C-alpha cells in the first residue's frame, strides 16, 4: 500500500524531530540538560588519614664513642676487643707523669664544648623569637646564623640545616645537638675526675669494646653503647618527606611467636648518601638494598632500650610522613581540573538539590595505596542480568583507608601486593556533611542525577522505630 503525500510529510517531520532532539541530548556540551545516572559514588565522610612509608630496617647501636689517648702516655691497656664494659669501667692506665698533661687537654676540650653549647643556645633563642614573630612556615636562612663564616659552614654541614629549612625543624635539629653537646661535657667531666683520682681512662657508657686501634701516635677505643636504634635506608624521594620527630613503628620477628611491635620516632636523617657501615653492610648482605642504589640513612629511636636484642637483626619499619584530620580520600582519577586552569583541583559532587557540581579541593598528597574496607560505600557499577532485565544489587565496597606499601623490592610477595594498589589522593575541602562524591568522568554542571536504588543499605531498625511511633500516635 502506497503512502499518501500527507503521511510522507508527517513521517519526515517526525523523523527530523527525533534526530534533532537526539542530537541535542547526546552531543557534547548539549544545551538540553540530561539526567546523570550515578553508579560510582562515595559519601564525603571527613576522617583522619595518614601517609605511611614502609621500609626495611636493622638494629644498630644508638651511639658509638671513640675515646683516644696518646700511646706514649699509656702504661697499660685493661680491656680487649669484644669485651662488655659498664659505665666508668677502666680502659687503660696513664703513666703518672702524663695524667696531669692529659687532664689539661681534656679541660681545654671541655671549654670548647661549653662555648659551643652557649652558641647553640643563643641560636635556638633567636630562632624561637623569629618563629613567634612570623608564620609557622618561615624558613631558616643558615647564612644569618652564627658570628662568622666558619660557624655557618659547620652549621650547614654538621647539623644539616640548609637554607630554607623550616624554622621549627631547624630548632629541633639544634636542640638535639645541644643535648649531644651536654652529654659530651658530662663525659669529659667524668674522664677528668677519673684521671685526677686514679690516673685511669674510663668508658662513658655501658657497652661493648668494638675495636682497639693504633692510629699514628694515638690508641683509640671504639665503644658501642648497649642502647639500640633502628636504621633504615631510603631513596631520595622518600628521604625528602621524612622529618626528625615523625612517629614510627617497628616490628621485630614478624609472624613469629616472639613478635614484638615497638613505637618510636625519627631520630635523625643523614645528608650524605650511605657508602659503608655495619648496618648498611648487613642490609646489603640480606638483599634489602642494592649496592648501586643511592640511599640515605634514617635512624629511628625506639621507646624500648632493646638491651637484649643483638645488633644486625632485621625488622620491618613504618614512618608516618603525613597525617591530617578532617580530610577526604578518593581514587586519584576522581580529581579533575578546568581546561583553562591546570592549577586548581576539583571534584564532582551531588548537592542537596540532587544536581552535579564541582567543588574545589586542597590536595595534600598522592601515592600508591591499598583500599581497605569500612562501613561506607565506594560504588561499583551495577550489572544487567541476561534476558530478564533484572538489576542486581550494587556491590558495596567501602571507604578506603590509605596505607603506603614499599615497592622497591621485586620479590614475589611484593608483586602480588602491587595488584591491590590504586593511585589515591587525600585532600581537604569545604564539603557539607553527608555530601556525595562522584567519579571524575566529564559531566555538565548543575545537571540532575538519579539512582534507581538507595545509596545506603535498608535498615529495619529504622522502620521498626517508625511503626512504633505511628502506633503510639494512633493510640493517643
Q: Which residues pair with 85 in a beta bridge?
A: 207
What are the grid coordinates assigned to 392, written together? 542486581
Give 424's strand partners.
331, 367
> Do residues 437 and 41 make contact, with C-beta atoms less than 8 angstroms apart?
yes
Cell of 117: 653549647
Burial class (CB in 10 A: 0-12, 13-18, 19+), 401: middle
Distance CA 362, CA 322 (A): 15
Strands (E), 83-189: 84-85, 90-94, 139-140, 165-166
The confidence score (pLDDT) of residue 399 equals 38
Nine cell digits for residue 99: 695524667
**Please, are residues 51 and 462 in contact by the beta-carbon 8 Å criterion?**
no
**HSE-up of residue 174 (Cα within 13 Å, Cβ side):** 29
Distances (CA, A) of 51 to 406, 426, 469: 12, 9, 46
What is the pLDDT, as a whole number, of residue 462? Answer: 56
Residues of the chain with pLDDT under 50: 1, 31, 136-157, 372-417
Q: Decide which of 3.40.50.720, 2.10.70.10, 2.40.30.170, 3.30.1330.60 is the CATH code for 53-59+227-321.
A: 2.40.30.170
Distance in angstroms (rounded) separating the CA atoms of residues 473 and 476: 5
Kindly list the distances between the CA atom of residue 30 and the CA atoms of 13, 16, 357, 444, in Å, as whole numbers in the listed order: 22, 18, 17, 8
CB 438 within 8 A of CB 40: yes
Q: Residue 468: what pLDDT?
A: 65
Count Cα neighbours of 262 within 13 Å in the Cβ-side half-sphere.
27
Dihedral in degrees, nearest 10, Cα atoms 189, 192, 197, 203 = 80
* CA R_g for the chain: 34
Calpha distance 51→426 (Å, rounded): 9
296, three cell numbers: 640515605
Task: Indicate the helix (H) or strand (E) that contains 416.
Answer: helix 412-418
Q: Give me the pLDDT at residue 144, please.
A: 44
Select from 240, 249, 323, 224 the least CA-distant residue to 54. Answer: 249
Q: How far apart are CA 242 and CA 237, in angstroms?
A: 9
Question: Would strands 165-166 and 139-140 be described as parallel, antiparallel, or unpaired?
Answer: antiparallel
CATH 2.40.30.170 positions along the chain are 53-59+227-321
Q: Mention every residue, 6+ apart, whose C-beta is less than 8 A from residue 347.
A: 330, 334, 335, 336, 358, 359, 361, 427, 429, 437, 440
How far is Cα 425 from Cα 345, in angstroms, rounded to an integer?
A: 11
The H-assigned helical ranges of 295-363 are none
φ/ψ (deg, to 5) at 38: -100, 115
CA–CA gap between residue 300 and residue 228 (Å, rounded): 9
Beta bridge partners of 222: 66, 211
Indicate if the alpha-carbon torsion angle 436, 440, 445, 450 is positive or negative.
Answer: negative
pTM for the full predicted model: 0.63
Report how far apart, in Å, the C-alpha atoms of 19 and of each of 6, 34, 35, 444 are.
20, 16, 19, 21
Tallying the residues shown for the chain, one arrives at 476
pLDDT of residue 451: 72
What is the model's pLDDT at position 157?
40
Q: Are 224 and 278 in contact (CB under 8 A)?
A: no
Q: How far apart are CA 371 and CA 405, in angstroms?
A: 11
Half-sphere exposure of 420 (CA within 13 A, CB side): 15
How far is residue 26 from each of residues 12, 15, 34, measured CA to CA in Å? Answer: 21, 16, 9
Q: How far does Cα 214 stand from its chain's mean position?
A: 43
Amino acid at each position: 500500500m502506497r503512502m499518501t503525500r500527507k503521511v510522507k510529510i508527517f513521517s519526515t517531520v517526525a523523523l527530523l524531530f527525533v534526530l534533532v532532539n537526539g542530537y541535542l541530548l547526546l552531543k557534547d556540551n548539549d544545551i538540553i540538560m540530561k539526567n546523570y545516572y550515578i553508579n560510582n559514588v562515595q559519601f564525603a565522610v571527613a576522617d583522619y588519614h595518614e601517609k605511611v612509608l614502609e621500609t626495611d630496617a636493622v638494629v644498630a647501636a644508638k651511639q658509638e664513642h671513640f675515646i683516644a689517648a696518646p700511646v706514649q702516655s699509656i702504661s697499660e691497656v685493661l680491656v680487649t676487643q669484644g669485651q662488655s664494659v659498664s659505665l666508668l669501667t677502666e680502659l687503660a692506665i696513664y703513666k703518672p707523669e702524663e695524667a696531669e698533661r692529659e687532664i689539661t687537654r681534656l679541660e681545654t676540650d671541655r671549654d670548647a664544648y661549653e662555648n659551643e653549647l652557649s652558641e647553640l643556645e643563643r641560636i635556638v633563642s633567636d630562632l624561637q623569637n623569629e618563629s613567634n614573630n612570623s608564620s609557622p612556615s618561615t624558613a631558616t636562612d643558615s647564612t644569618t646564623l652564627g658570628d662568622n663564616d666558619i660557624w655557618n659552614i659547620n652549621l650547614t654541614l654538621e647539623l644539616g640545616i640548609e637554607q630554607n629549612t623550616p624554622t621549627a625543624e631547624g630548632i629541633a635539629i639544634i636542640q638535639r645537638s645541644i643535648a649531644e653537646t651536654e652529654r659530651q661535657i658530662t663525659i669529659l667531666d667524668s674522664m677528668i675526675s677519673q684521671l685526677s683520682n686514679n690516673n685511669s681512662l674510663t668508658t662513658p657508657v655501658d657497652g661493648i669494646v668494638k675495636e682497639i686501634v693504633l692510629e699514628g701516635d694515638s690508641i683509640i677505643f671504639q665503644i658501642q653503647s648497649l642502647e639500640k636504634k633502628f636504621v633504615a635506608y631510603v631513596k631520595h624521594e622518600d628521604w625528602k618527606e621524612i622529618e626528625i620527630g615523625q612517629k614510627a613503628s617497628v616490628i621485630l620477628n614478624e609472624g613469629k611467636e616472639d613478635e614484638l611491635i615497638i613505637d618510636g620516632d625519627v631520630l635523625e636523617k643523614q645528608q650524605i648518601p650511605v657508602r659503608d657501615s655495619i648496618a648498611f653492610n648487613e642490609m646489603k648482605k640480606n638483599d634489602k638494598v642494592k649496592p648501586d642504589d643511592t640511599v640515605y640513612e634514617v635512624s629511628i629511636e625506639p621507646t624500648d632500650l632493646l638491651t637484649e636484642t643483638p645488633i644486625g637483626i632485621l625488622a620491618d619499619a613504618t614512618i608516618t610522613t603525613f597525617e591530617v584530620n578532617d580530610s577526604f580520600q578518593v581514587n586519584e582519577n576522581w580529581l579533575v581540573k578546568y581546561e583553562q586552569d591546570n592549577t586548581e583541583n576539583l571534584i564532582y559532587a551531588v548537592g542537596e538539590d540532587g544536581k552535579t557540581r564541582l567543588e574545589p579541593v586542597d590536595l595534600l598528597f598522592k601515592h600508591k595505596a591499598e583500599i581497605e574496607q569500612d562501613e561506607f560505600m565506594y560504588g561499583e557499577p551495577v550489572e544487567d542480568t541476561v534476558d530478564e532485565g533484572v538489576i542486581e544489587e550494587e556491590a558495596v565496597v567501602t571507604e578506603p583507608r590509605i596505607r603506603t606499601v614499599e615497592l622497591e623490592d621485586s620479590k614475589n610477595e611484593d608483586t602480588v601486593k602491587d595488584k591491590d594498589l590504586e593511585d589515591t589522593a587525600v585532600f581537604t575541602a569545604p564539603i557539607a556533611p553527608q555530601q556525595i562524591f562522584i567519579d571524575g568522568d566529564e559531566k555538565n554542571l548543575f545537571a540532575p542525577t538519579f539512582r534507581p536504588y538507595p545509596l545506603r543499605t535498608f535498615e529495619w531498625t529504622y522502620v521498626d522505630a517508625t511503626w512504633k511511633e505511628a502506633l503510639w500516635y494512633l493510640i493517643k
